[in-house]
Structure 1
């Protein structure tokens, strides 16, 4: 294992990351690779909150990956200036999550069978490898730490299972605790719905349930975790069907209304659900296209997010039919939807170009004033200002050039 500063970094076989006690999680994002800042900003005279971004990427030839692994960036006060601090070389770290104490970072490795752990240095944000564990399935796509901070939950996308692994006090991962298969009949899509394909495992806002969109079964499952044993089970309302061949991919909860929203990969739609927090039950109330009306080609939904004030829902659209397609040639888009404060339903406001191809992921910045679109196939992270009036997106001109970005996690602390 070698460690280098200023853009060369740490190499290890398969591991994840750790977060410092001084660091506060802001928001996860998507992005990857070996990027560099596009502008320079003078250091502020007053003490400011330091922001660090951890960027995961596609690295393998099978995915046409050009990334190197996890890259660590210092983010300037303008949000546009990204300075590379460290590169940790490893295979396909396709989604990242921090623990509840904000001392450790974890990464799933797409197309492989393990999850890895890292410690985050409290002063620099740099990562130190802590080892890895098998997830009991193939192609882990997403992960989340439970509210008790005792277990990591992982979606094994290609195996149709949800796994739990214990978190040690030192941030390391213990061997697999439980593995739950998701039941149901596959949807009608001949290649993408061959069986269960969970893609997301976030906890509900109150932490009582794990909500699992399953692209292969056209269902959203609600699971319960026993925080003492790490065992998984189905909630009082085990699942809700989605419209046939929608392929629900990711879900985002409203900050104060009883609503949640999915981006549906196969039909490029957004579905609004009413959320019964007591039973962990979703009831579909509305389905809208995530693409603009003039979009006539193939498209796949990518990511979804709700603004911190709950007024806007954002959803990304990826041109082309699946990962095997190059996408493009025109840039892809992010749809902007206004949320009704009375009903929680959506009204399309407009669509903004991501100035690149395949925004598999995007996220809002720590203060919600900027949005970052990670264009996996055109190898950029593009920065937007968020209009405080209508939630519209305006490119700032900030672009990070990086290989195959797929996930970004922002952390904040005192500089």
Structure 2
């Protein structure tokens, strides 16, 4: 099939900030047809919505779900085969404030949501038509707040990925300097602490997002408050983490404030990438210099990352970035400079080369690439 605006081979869904309280200049969820390399994306559709800050598809790629930052809702959309355009299917309350991330369980029956400002994790059932049912369970996260007087006032989960085998939900919590390990009952949606309920991190780390190595028993966090990357040994049998190694995510010459944002590994697990946002939090404008993505080489024997280089994101506040399926392209969403930039990835060295701007769009916070079903 020849790619066209009505039948692109890959679609990019872009979430954004839209409200004045977050200096949002976005429109909602934007749908783009993706072209090769640094060629600008083709705008296909805009779904107006308040702060759709993170997006995910179900396991069949027939439905898309969005959390709405600073609110208390999650929304559902049907994905049209071929074109990738969206049809709204309704919303549900998440039982908490400021949902920041969401994930679909391996059985495709439940949606798990991190309520960042309320310090809770929610589960909601997914119906056969893709819509979302009412709240199934809501689990408060325990623990003493960390020492940061502004950023650590209580539990603040920001990520709810499933472990590679799907048995556990792993929850980095910026507010209590812990990483929680939960189980989800695939029949009832009930959430419970795992055999090893949590791992205490370094004080003031503020773990934000976590990535599992694709082949080795290791996991890595980007620690928002310290701007560090921490390596953990992952015990899949008990769902436990053992801290092994911490390294700064910022360049050695960086002296200013920074907040870590996103972390990802190359498909072969040889390289790790982490984004750095200049400044001391979301309320600051960021800049004037562009922010960076750090490159680490990952040892195939120990799993430990070694810093290699830092690359400009060609913009300000890379809240999110993602790799293409083959790992040869990286897309960085620069929230405060309103652009999505593309980088070619050298698969031998892991290094990035800027290829160009693929979209000029307001306050992008998430990029989700989806291969279109015919």
Considering the TM-score relative to the shorter chain, is it more than 0.5? yes
For 1:102, which of 61, 77, 81 is the aligned residue? 61
- Asked if 1:299 corresponds to 2:269, the answer is no
Mapped to 2, the partners of 1:335 and 1:230 lie a distance apart of: 37
- Match for residue 197 of structure 2? 238
Mapped to 2, the partners of 1:123 and 1:313 lie a distance apart of: 33
Q: What root-mean-square deviation, in Å, do the aligned CA atoms of Structure 1 and Structure 2 show?
A: 1.3
- Asked if 1:334 corresponds to 2:289, the answer is no
Mapped to 1, the partners of 2:356 and 2:119 lie a distance apart of: 41
Structure 2 residues without counterparts, runs of 5 or longer: none
Question: Deviations 1:353-403 (Å, cap 9, x if unpaired)?
Answer: 001100000010122100011100000111000011110000012342110
Structure 1 residues without counterparts, runs of 5 or longer: 1-42
- Asked if 1:180 corresponds to 2:155, the answer is no
Q: Which 4+ stretches in 1 moved above 6 angstroms?
A: none
Inter-CA distance 44–233: structure 2 relative to 1 (3 Å threshold)? closer
- Asked if 1:362 corresponds to 2:321, the answer is yes
Asked if 1 retains the 8 angstrom alpha-carbon contact of 2:329 and 2:345, the reply is yes
Inter-CA distance 414–120: structure 2 relative to 1 (3 Å threshold)? closer
TM superposition score normalised by structure 1? 0.88
Higher relative contact order (CA 8 A, sep 6+): 1
- Match for residue 26 of structure 1? none
Asked if 1 retains the 8 angstrom alpha-carbon contact of 2:38 and 2:356, the reply is no
Mapped to 1, the partners of 2:340 and 2:27 lie a distance apart of: 15
Question: Deviations 1:220-251 (Å, cap 9, x if unpaired)?
Answer: 00000000110000111100001000100000
State the aligned residue count. Answer: 371
- Match for residue 354 of structure 2? 395
- Match for residue 84 of structure 1? 43
SS in 2 for 1:62: helix
Distance apart, 1:89 and its partner CA: 0.6
Mapped to 1, the partners of 2:142 and 2:102 lie a distance apart of: 20
- Match for residue 20 of structure 1? none
Mapped to 2, the partners of 1:276 and 1:79 lie a distance apart of: 40
Asked if 2 retains the 8 angstrom alpha-carbon contact of 1:59 and 1:404, the reply is yes
- Asked if 1:256 corresponds to 2:256, the answer is no
Asked if 2 retains the 8 angstrom alpha-carbon contact of 1:58 and 1:405, the reply is yes
- Match for residue 274 of structure 2? 315
- Match for residue 379 of structure 1? 338
Question: Deviations 1:125-156 (Å, cap 9, x if unpaired)?
Answer: 10000000000000000000000111000000
Where in structure 2 are the equivalents of 1:187-266 lying within 5 Å? 187-266=146-225
SS in 1 for 2:47: strand
Distance apart, 1:44 and its partner CA: 7.2
Mapped to 2, the partners of 1:128 and 1:44 lie a distance apart of: 21
Distance apart, 1:325 and its partner CA: 0.7
